[in-house]
Structures are given as C-alpha cells and as structure tokens.
C-alpha cells in the first residue's frame, strides 16, 4: 500500500502539531469561553493544554513500543474491532473539524474580506485550495507550514504587543469570572479541539523517530497552546468579558484596535493573509488525516482517488447548516461532549494496554 505520506522530521512535526491546534484562535472559541466562564475564561486553556499534552505523551510512550500508525497499533493492542472504532472516532474528529473550519473560515472571509462574494464561491475557493495542497502530499504541506510558521508567530506576537497600551490586567483575575466550575465546558472544548493532534499518531510511520513525535508535542503543541492562552488573556485584558463575548472574530478585532501612528493604523486587513493561510493549511491537514483513515479502514491501495470526492463532500456538508449560529451551536456540542471524551479515553486505554501487555522498543518503523 502506498499512501505517499512522505518522510518527516521534528520540524514537520512541530508545524503539523501547531497548525492543527491553532486555528481556534481566529474563530469564535475564545468568545465562547469568555461567554461561559467570564473573565476567567483564559484559565480554561491551561488545564486543557496540560491534559492534552499528557495524553499525547502517553501515546508517544505507546508508539515507542509498537510500530505502525494509530490504527495498526490499536489493532495490535486491542483487536481489530477496537481499531475500527478508534478509526471511525478519529475520522469523525478530523472530518468534523475540516467541515466546521471550512464553514467558519468562509463565514469570516465574507465578514472581513469579501463582503460581496457569494458564500458557495468562497467555500469553493477554500476547498479547492485545500484540495490542491492535498495533491502535493502531507510532507510538502508540513514543510510549507514550517516555512510560514515564524511569520504566523511573529504576526501574532506583533498584534499582542501592539495592544499593550490597552491592557487592563485587572480583567484577568479569576474572581472577575463566573467561578471555577464554569471553566469545565471551555476546557473540554479545548481538549476536543486538540483531537487534531491525533494526525501525528495517524501518520506516525512517516516520522523518523519517536523523538520527532515528542518534539512535535512539546514545541508544536506547547507553542500553540502558549500562544492561544496568551491571546485569550490579551483578548480579555483588552475588551473585558462583557464586550469580548460579543466579538465573533477575536483576532481580527484585536488587530483592528492597534494604532501606532497616523501612517500605521487599521492594518488588520494585512492579517487576513495570515489567517487564510492557517485556515487552508489546517483544513488540508485534517482532511488528509480523515482520508488516510478512510483508506486504511477500507484497505484501499491509495488515497489519491479519494481526494476529489472527499473535498466535494466537505464543501457540500459545510454548506448544509443554515447560519453561523447553528455552526457555533453544533461546535458547542461536538467538541466538549463528543470529541473530548474520546480524545481523553482512547490514549488512556492504549497507554494502559501497553503497560499491561508490554512491548519492546519498536522504533524506527520497519517500513522506514
């Protein structure tokens, strides 16, 4: 079977882990967190990042002892049926994320950049771009992400730094929030969003060694989590919870507030370049993961014929929901209550199974 997943190292892993967990900052997740947890919403990201990080480390422990991708390892440890269930779950996570991101980024584009464009046209643009990237292969997508990554981080840091005069640190204190119990749902949402990290384990045979996977988790996911927490904190510091919950595009709104001098003002439009790239890359990577799982589950010899079909399905599904509110409602159910339990449960079960059944050091993979 040739899935053309390429050969990747730590740099590609970092880029992959960063990009599949980062898009939420450009979407409505921070506003939703603030709406539920008030000014303390930024705190939800900390336990979420720690839990997701620990879960990923548990998976790297499993992969250090068993070669193959996530489905093959699950089959070895828990049997074929479990592998199918795990495959279907992660297919749902990745495919669902790709659909929701397509829809949300298309909506955002209409709001900020192309107000006169037709909705299906914008969806088509996004999905065609993602499709083109998929044809280039995951290895090249990750390499391109790695090239763009410093500009993303620099752009974000510039925005956060540019807002410094507007910071009100008092807004961050937890007693301004709605109590610690209100943090649970945003925390679960963020754990559910980290389900995209499973791509690392699905594509594990493409990585050179387990060190690359660990590096991807520490630097890629760690960096992304840190920037997300910082962004939400700045978002709350600048707007306060009452205004922040009304903002559907946190990053865009933050960039809008920056005023440096009369020649450098209102340059939020330039950041459209940044979030469009992040959106398309995240969509393409999630879709790649979903297609890879489909091909594995149905034992298909190649993933390429699935690419046009799946991109078409994604475009159709992204347009089904009637409005942006329905998308946010669906997101509020899917991430915390459907994706998050599986994201927590599956790595835990695999970790326990590895401890019980044992396993020798199995890296590098036989097929590398």
Partner 1 sequence: MAENTITKIYSAAKKFIDYTPPTGPDPFVLDEKRPFDSYQAQKPPESAIAKSADHLTALLRYGERLSLYTDKVSKALKSGDPINDTAAFKDELAALEKQWTWLAPLLYSYQQNQESEDLPLGTSIEENRRILETIYKLPLNKDVVIKEIEMAGTPVVPVLVVYMEGLVDSSKQDHFVLKPLMSADVGRNIDAGDLIGSIKKKIIPNGQVHETTTFKTLQEGVNRGDTVVLFDGFDKAVIIETKGWEHRAVNIPQNEQTVRGSQAAFSENLRTNTGLIRSIMRSSDLITEMIKIGTRGQTNCAVMYIESIANASLVDEVRRRLKSIETDYIIDSGQLAQFIEDFPAVIFPQTISTERPDRVAASIVEGRLALLLEGNPFAQILPMDFFGFFHSGEDFSVKSGIGNFMRILRLFSALISTVLPSLYLSLGYFHPEAMPTELLLAIAGARENVPFPAGFEMFMMEIVFELIREAGIRIPGVLGSTIGIVGAIILGQAAVAARIVSPIVVVIVAVTGLASYTITEFRMASAIRLVRFGLLLCAWTLGLVGLAIALLALIVLLCSIKSFGMPYMSPIAPRSIAGYDVVTRGQVYNQELRPDALQTKDNRRQATVSRLWKKKPAEKGDKEE
Q: Taking CB under 8 A as the rule, does residue 364 contact partner 1?
A: no
Q: Which of 9, 30, 40, 155 binds partner 1 (CB under 8 A)?
A: 9
Min separation Cβ 114 and partner 1, Å = 6
Residues near partner 1 (CB under 8 A), total: 45
Min separation Cβ 154 and partner 1, Å = 15
Min separation Cβ 51 and partner 1, Å = 30
Binding window for partner 1 (CB under 8 A); candidates: 145-153, 184-192, 232-240, 246-254: 145-153
Q: Taking CB under 8 A as the rule, does residue 120 contact partner 1?
A: no
Min separation Cβ 15 and partner 1, Å = 9
- Judged by beta carbon, residue 85 or residue 113, the one nearer partner 1 is 113
Min separation Cβ 115 and partner 1, Å = 9
Binding window for partner 1 (CB under 8 A); candidates: 67-75, 76-84, 137-145, 190-198: 137-145
Of residues 271-310, which lie at the interface with partner 1 (CB under 8 A)?
272-274, 276-277, 280-281, 301-302, 304-305, 308
Q: What is d(CA 202, CA 17) in angstroms, rounded to the nearest whole number?
A: 12
Binding window for partner 1 (CB under 8 A); candidates: 6-14, 70-78, 176-184, 344-352: 6-14
Q: Taking CB under 8 A as the rule, does residue 111 contact partner 1?
A: no
- Judged by beta carbon, residue 140 or residue 242, the one nearer partner 1 is 140
Binding window for partner 1 (CB under 8 A); candidates: 59-67, 84-92, 138-146, 333-341: 138-146
Min separation Cβ 284 and partner 1, Å = 9
Would you say 38 and 232 are in contact if contact means Cβ atoms under 8 Å apart?
Answer: no
Q: Taking CB under 8 A as the rule, does residue 154 contact partner 1?
A: no
3-state secondary structure the chain: CCCCCCCECHHHHHHHHHHHHCHHHHCCHHHHHHHHHEHHHHHHHHHHHHHHHHHHHHHHHHHHHCCCCHHHHHHHHHCHHHHHHHHHHHHHHHHHHHHHHHHHHHHHHHHHCCCCCCHHHHHHHHHHHHHHHHHHCHHHHHHHHHHHHHHHHHHHHHHHHHCHHHCCHHHHCHHHECCHHHHHHHHHHHHHHHHHHHHHHHCHHHECCHHHHHHHHHHHHHHHHHHHHHHHHHHHHHHHHHHHCCCCCHHHHHHHHCEEECCEECCHHHHHHHHHHHHHHHHHHHHHHHHHHHHHHCCCCCCCCHHHHHHHHHHHHHCCCCCHHHHHHHHHHHHHHHHHHHHHHHHHHHHHHHHHHCCCCCCCCCCC
The residues, ordered by sequence, that sit 6+ positions from 11 with a Cβ below 8 Å of its Cβ are 143, 146
Q: Which residue's entry shows tokens 């925390």?
A: 187
- Judged by beta carbon, residue 147 or residue 164, the one nearer partner 1 is 147
Binding window for partner 1 (CB under 8 A); candidates: 5-13, 39-47, 67-75, 84-92: 5-13
- Judged by beta carbon, residue 260 or residue 356, the one nearer partner 1 is 260
Residues found near partner 1 in the complex (CB under 8 A): 2, 8-12, 109, 113-114, 117, 122, 125, 129, 132-133, 136-137, 140-141, 143-144, 146-148, 262-270, 272-274, 276-277, 280-281, 301-302, 304-305, 308
């Amino acid at each position: 079977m040739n899935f053309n997943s390429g050969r990747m190292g730590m740099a590609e892993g970092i880029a992959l882990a960063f990009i599949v967990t980062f898009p939420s900052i450009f979407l409505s997740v921070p506003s939703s967190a603030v709406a539920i947890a008030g000014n303390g919403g930024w705190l939800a990201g900390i336990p979420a990042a720690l839990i997701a990080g620990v879960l990923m480390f548990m998976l790297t422990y499993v992969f250090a002892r068993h070669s193959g991708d996530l489905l093959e390892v699950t089959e070895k440890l828990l049997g074929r049926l479990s592998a199918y269930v795990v495959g279907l779950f992660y297919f749902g996570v990745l495919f669902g994320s790709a659909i929701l991101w397509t829809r949300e980024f298309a909506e955002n584009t209409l709001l900020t950049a192309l107000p006169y464009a037709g909705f299906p046209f914008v969806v088509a643009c996004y999905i065609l771009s993602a499709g083109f990237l998929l044809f280039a292969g995951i290895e090249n997508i990750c390499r391109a992400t790695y090239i763009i990554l410093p500009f993303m981080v620099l752009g974000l840091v510039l925005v956060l730094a540019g807002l410094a005069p507007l910071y009100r640190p008092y807004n961050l204190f937890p007693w301004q929030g709605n109590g610690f119990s209100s943090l649970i749902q945003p925390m679960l949402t963020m754990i559910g969003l980290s389900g995209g990290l499973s791509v690392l384990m699905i594509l594990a045979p493409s990585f050179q060694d387990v060190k690359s996977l660990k590096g991807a988790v520490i630097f890629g996911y760690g960096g992304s989590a840190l920037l997300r927490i910082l962004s939400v904190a700045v978002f709350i510091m600048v707007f306060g919870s009452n205004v922040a919950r009304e903002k559907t595009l946190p990053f865009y709104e933050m960039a809008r507030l920056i005023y440096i001098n009369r020649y450098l003002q209102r340059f939020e439009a330039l950041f459209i370049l940044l979030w469009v790239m992040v959106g398309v890359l995240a969509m393409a990577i999630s879709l790649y993961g979903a297609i890879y799982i489909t091909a594995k589950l149905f034992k298909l010899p190649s993933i390429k014929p699935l690419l046009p079909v799946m991109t078409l399905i994604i475009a159709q599904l992204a347009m089904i929901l009637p409005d942006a509110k329905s998308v946010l409602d669906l997101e509020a159910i899917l991430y915390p209550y459907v994706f998050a339990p599986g994201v927590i449960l599956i790595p835990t079960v695999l970790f326990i199974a590895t401890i019980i059944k044992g396993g020798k050091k199995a890296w590098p993979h036989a097929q590398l």
